[in-house]
Chains A and B, each alone.
Chain A
Amino acid sequence: MTDEQQENPRAGVSRRRLLGITGTGAAVGAATFAGGLGLGRATADDSVPQGGSRTYPFYGGHQSGVVTPAQDRLHFAAFDVTATTREDLITLLQAWTLAAAEMTQGRPAQADETSYDAPPADTGEADGLPASGLTLTFGFGPSLFRDAQGKDRFGIAARQPKELARLPHFPADKLDPSRSDGDLCVQACADDPQVAVHAIRNLSRIAFGSAEIRWAQLGFGRTSSTSTSQATPRNLFGFKDGTANLKAENAGDLDQHVWVARGDDPRAEWMTGGSYLVARRINMHLETWDRTSLREQEAIVGRDRPQGAPLSGGTEFTEPDFAAKGRGNEPLISATSHVQLAHPTRNGGAKMLRRGYNFTDGNDALGRLDAGLFFLAYVRRPSTQYIPMQNRLAQHDGMMEYLQHTGSALFAVPPGARAGGYVGEVLFT
């Protein structure tokens, strides 16, 4: 199963009217499961659906929202589980699954009719809005398996993946504990911010009593393309970001770098078809960056700003030539440039599927924008694909002068839920 989009049969039908039409959402949810084509068979016509009515299936072999063409907006939330029993945790995941399957198809979170004297089942702010390509992606943090004292919280500690450990301290990290870690996460991506926020809000509401939001992050613009049919967007430094990103069209790359395979971790076979999500809140010192000459900006990035071509020449998608020399026999692309340090050839061939978003959360006490990149990356093995690279970047990347990592988390993203099942079910059975 893939993230093949489907024509929404009810394009243009508002959620408000649907509320009256569908007594139960289950049958409709199953119907949308129908037609997953293999990724390799996606054609130019259907790989990136247009318009707000597009939907992605919730159920399938992989969760949506990983290789799905990156939507424009994000609302991400990490949760602390307050429930203390395995049963309560499972109940929460089941309820979330049902609501997610509904909302991703452009329907209310809960379709139950409610009395005039009861609060409405759905919070209502997405009434009248189409699905807007909403995907909801769920993950489990290390602390879900063991608490700070190492105690097995829900009888799942024996199945904790070896890759699922708190990320280490990287040089220059200035992490805010209240923007880091978490037992569970939900990544809501959509082309309409109101739809993404509506989804997190309703999932949070459903969770009351079992889990509560630990931290959340809004992202207002995607900084990566995850499909060859998408143009590469720009980050807040004004440069194209994620040019060399893994793309959904390269199924071989995805199997090699993104999806956990059977046998990767014998004690966590339940992760087969899943992935690991690295989340980093990276503040950018925009004010000092904006005072930096274009010469230095381009030297730091290793690409030109207008088109994103490597400084060794060509166009955006030309492979950088790190051996190319310029005046004085100095390399055209500096050894401390971002493009070189992050390049797979400098990282043992490691690649990531990046899915980050630009964010701004108002300003700091000094009147500077509290803004940057909310970095999201899906990898098969954080220990080889992210951690060594980040250590190198933090030490040598000229861009670090303008960056400060303020939040950090790692989550295990289980495979997709089967229709009739729930997300993460494989961990509990």
Chain B
Amino acid sequence: MSRRTSSVILTALLASTALAACTSNEPAGNAGDQGKLSVTSDAKTCELSAKEAPSGNLVFNVTNKGSQVTEFYLLGEDGLRIVGEVENIAPGLSRDLVLKAAPGKYFTACKPGMVGKGIRSAFTVTDSGNDTELTGDDKALAQTAGSQYGSYVKDQTEQLLTKTQSFVSLYKAGKDDQARALYADARRHWERIEPVAESFGDLDPKMDLREADLEPGQTWTGWHRIEKDLWPPKTGYTALTPAQRATVADQLLTDTRTLSSRTRTTTHTPDKMANGSKELMDEVATGKVTGEEEIWSHTDLWDFQANVDGARVAFEDLRPILKKKDKALDTSIATKFTALQKLLDQHKKGDGFVLYNELTPAQVKELSSGVNALSEPLSKLTAAVTL
């Protein structure tokens, strides 16, 4: 479970800007002074500090001097293709648009009030000799990546549903040993696609809330409620009655069905996939590597592996785009996934893993370092695939 309500904001925000270039306050590395432009937008004007710039990384620092929310676009020669854009610049604020532009003719546009064609001017990118593969042709690649990842999500939710059905019937029937044996196995399908599940803000707390995250008076449902009942603390715990078991179990199954049907219509854009990949590794860093996720069953390494699986699949699906945009980053992330998997493999036992509480502090630290090594380059993935 994560408390990531923020991903709800993000998906809403990013869904509408699938084509957005990254916006940043850090000017891109090799943008020389000529590659830095300032844009002033108000109700009537859209003033640029220059009419042309050399090809390569460009930074448009857009300041809204008007009284309405504004947007800024760099459009292709046809005036239709969006090369890059920044949205939601409120009055008084400024924001950077960072992008890679090939030589050619363009249009710039400010859109005060976010309506209409915007205030347009012609803009030229001259040939600097810098290697700039054309951007904007990535639609097909993005679509392929999104549909591949969509199939993965579908497959995982189907397996999750099947295994959850078996799990809850075992649990309701009091076959605790068998339920315990299936717990981590079923959950890994959830953990693999957790960012997708979290994007439905109401389901995550119902299905994956930890006891520590409860508010006084709040009803506790979901996986971890059952976890505690199957691995009860030695003292001070009252086991659930068969009727209580049935209620919690049926609720989990219902919620899993809802999740499964909702994911059918989810679209997967490169930015969402890249963010999801990074979020999965954040989950590992804050919950699994510290043993806080599965405090009763200690099956944190199953979740750990599942989060890594999910992050890796999203990354693999995005690689064709990333290889075009940033080869070095692609290599770096791939190498670190492999290294982290090697560390995890040391703790494999049968079909699963050793329990978290069997790890030594040195082993936990080693895993944590592996997560950090991967997460750092992975955090650059979103910007890279959308640039």
- A residues within 8 Å of B by Cβ? 168-174, 285, 287-288, 291-296, 299-300, 304-306, 309-315, 318, 324-328, 330, 332, 334, 336-337, 365-368, 391, 394-401
**Can you list 17 A-B contacts with CB-CB less than 8 angstroms, sorted by A residue number?**
A291-B278, A291-B379, A296-B6, A296-B10, A299-B9, A311-B90, A312-B90, A313-B91, A318-B92, A324-B90, A326-B88, A326-B114, A327-B17, A327-B88, A365-B364, A391-B215, A400-B5
Q: Tell me whether B87 and A327 are in contact (CB under 8 A).
A: yes
Determine the chain B residues whose CB is within 8 A of the CB of A337 once the complex forms: 9
- Given A366-B289, A394-B215, CB of A299 within 8 Å of CB of B13: yes
- Given A174-B212, A334-B9, CB of A311 within 8 Å of CB of B93: yes
A-B contacts besides A291-B282, A324-B90, 14 pairs, CB < 8 Å: A172-B213, A285-B286, A294-B26, A296-B9, A296-B10, A299-B6, A306-B25, A326-B88, A326-B114, A327-B17, A365-B364, A366-B290, A398-B5, A399-B6
Determine the chain A residues whose CB is within 8 A of the CB of B278 once the complex forms: 291
* Number of interface residues, chain B, beta carbon within 8 A: 55
Q: How far is the CB of B184 from chain A (nearest CB, A)?
A: 23
Determine the chain B residues whose CB is within 8 A of the CB of A173 once the complex forms: 212
- Given A168-B216, A299-B10, CB of A293 within 8 Å of CB of B383: yes
- Given A288-B286, A299-B13, A401-B2, CB of A294 within 8 Å of CB of B93: no
Bound Cα distance A286, B379 (Å) = 14
Q: How far is the CB of B368 from chain A (nearest CB, A)?
A: 4
Within 8 Å of chain A (Cβ to Cβ): is B303?
no
Determine the chain B residues whose CB is within 8 A of the CB of A326 once the complex forms: 69, 87-88, 90, 114
- Given A172-B213, A313-B69, CB of A366 within 8 Å of CB of B2: no
Q: How far is the CB of B211 from chain A (nearest CB, A)?
A: 10
Neighbour of A295 across the interface among B23, B26, B94, B290, CB < 8 A? B23
Determine the chain B residues whose CB is within 8 A of the CB of A291 once the complex forms: 278, 282, 375-376, 378-379
- Given A291-B376, A311-B93, CB of A305 within 8 Å of CB of B286: no
Q: Which positions 264-315 of chain B face chain A at CB distance < 8 Å?
A: 275, 278, 282, 285-286, 289-290, 292
Bound Cα distance A324, B378 (Å) = 33
Q: Tell me whether B9 and A336 are in contact (CB under 8 A).
A: yes
Determine the chain B residues whose CB is within 8 A of the CB of A171 once the complex forms: 3, 212-215, 218
- Given A291-B375, A326-B114, CB of A311 within 8 Å of CB of B25: no
Neighbour of A287 across the interface among B87, B285, B364, CB < 8 A? B285
Give chain B's interface secondary structure class.
Answer: mixed
Determine the chain A residues whose CB is within 8 A of the CB of B94 once the complex forms: 306
- Given A172-B3, A398-B5, CB of A292 within 8 Å of CB of B379: yes
Q: How far is the CB of A383 from chain B (nearest CB, A)?
A: 14
Q: Tell me whether A367 and B286 are in contact (CB under 8 A).
A: no
Determine the chain A residues whose CB is within 8 A of the CB of B372 once the complex forms: 287, 367
Determine the chain B residues whose CB is within 8 A of the CB of A299 once the complex forms: 6, 9-10, 13
Within 8 Å of chain A (Cβ to Cβ): is B8?
yes
Determine the chain A residues whose CB is within 8 A of the CB of B3 once the complex forms: 171-172, 400-401
Pick from B71, B214, B364 the residue with the most CB of A within 10 Å. B214
Within 8 Å of chain A (Cβ to Cβ): is B324?
no
Q: How far is the CB of B286 from chain A (nearest CB, A)?
A: 6
Q: Tell me whether A327 and B23 are in contact (CB under 8 A).
A: no
Q: Tell me whether B364 and A330 are in contact (CB under 8 A).
A: no
Neighbour of B88 across the interface among A168, A172, A300, A311, CB < 8 A? A311
Bound Cα distance A300, B7 (Å) = 10
Determine the chain B residues whose CB is within 8 A of the CB of A330 once the complex forms: 12-13, 16
Determine the chain A residues whose CB is within 8 A of the CB of B244 once the complex forms: none
Within 8 Å of chain A (Cβ to Cβ): is B342?
no
Within 8 Å of chain A (Cβ to Cβ): is B64?
yes
Q: Tell me whether B282 and A288 are in contact (CB under 8 A).
A: yes
Within 8 Å of chain A (Cβ to Cβ): is B256?
no
Within 8 Å of chain A (Cβ to Cβ): is B24?
yes
Q: Tell me whether B88 and A396 are in contact (CB under 8 A).
A: no
Question: Whose C-beta in chain A lies nearest to the C-beta of B289?
Answer: A366
Bound Cα distance A304, B92 (Å) = 11
Bound Cα distance A313, B9 (Å) = 18
Q: Tell me whether A304 and B368 are in contact (CB under 8 A).
A: no
Determine the chain A residues whose CB is within 8 A of the CB of B282 once the complex forms: 288, 291, 401
Q: Which positions 69-102 of chain B face chain A at CB distance < 8 Å?
A: 69, 71, 87-88, 90-95
Q: Tell me whether A395 and B215 are in contact (CB under 8 A).
A: yes
- Given A295-B23, A299-B13, A330-B12, CB of A401 within 8 Å of CB of B4: yes
Q: Tell me whether B71 and A327 are in contact (CB under 8 A).
A: yes
- Given A296-B10, A401-B6, CB of A304 within 8 Å of CB of B365: no
Pick from A299, A304, A327 the residue with the most CB of B within 10 Å. A327
Determine the chain B residues whose CB is within 8 A of the CB of A324 once the complex forms: 69, 90
Neighbour of B5 across the interface among A309, A391, A396, CB < 8 A? A396
Bound Cα distance A400, B212 (Å) = 13
Q: Tell me whether B212 and A293 are in contact (CB under 8 A).
A: no
Q: Which positions 89-139 of chain B face chain A at CB distance < 8 Å?
A: 90-95, 114
Neighbour of A366 across the interface among B24, B292, B364, B376, CB < 8 A? B364
Within 8 Å of chain A (Cβ to Cβ): is B369?
yes
Q: Which positions 227-252 of chain B face chain A at CB distance < 8 Å?
A: none
Determine the chain B residues whose CB is within 8 A of the CB of A170 once the complex forms: 215
Question: Whose C-beta in chain A lies nearest to the C-beta of B68?
Answer: A313
Bound Cα distance A310, B218 (Å) = 32
Bound Cα distance A337, B8 (Å) = 11
Q: Tell me whether B25 and A313 are in contact (CB under 8 A).
A: no
Within 8 Å of chain A (Cβ to Cβ): is B57?
no
Q: How far is the CB of A32 from chain B (nearest CB, A)?
A: 45
Bound Cα distance A174, B12 (Å) = 31
Within 8 Å of chain A (Cβ to Cβ): is B41?
no
Q: How far is the CB of B186 from chain A (nearest CB, A)?
A: 25
Within 8 Å of chain A (Cβ to Cβ): is B382?
yes
Bound Cα distance A291, B373 (Å) = 12
Determine the chain B residues whose CB is within 8 A of the CB of A399 once the complex forms: 6
Q: How far is the CB of A36 from chain B (nearest CB, A)?
A: 40
Q: How far is the CB of B218 from chain A (nearest CB, A)?
A: 8
Bound Cα distance A309, B22 (Å) = 21
Within 8 Å of chain A (Cβ to Cβ): is B361?
yes
Pick from A365, A399, A401 the residue with the most CB of B within 10 Å. A401
Determine the chain A residues whose CB is within 8 A of the CB of B364 once the complex forms: 365-366
Determine the chain B residues whose CB is within 8 A of the CB of A394 once the complex forms: 215
Bound Cα distance A314, B94 (Å) = 10
Bound Cα distance A315, B88 (Å) = 16
Determine the chain B residues whose CB is within 8 A of the CB of A367 once the complex forms: 365, 368-369, 372
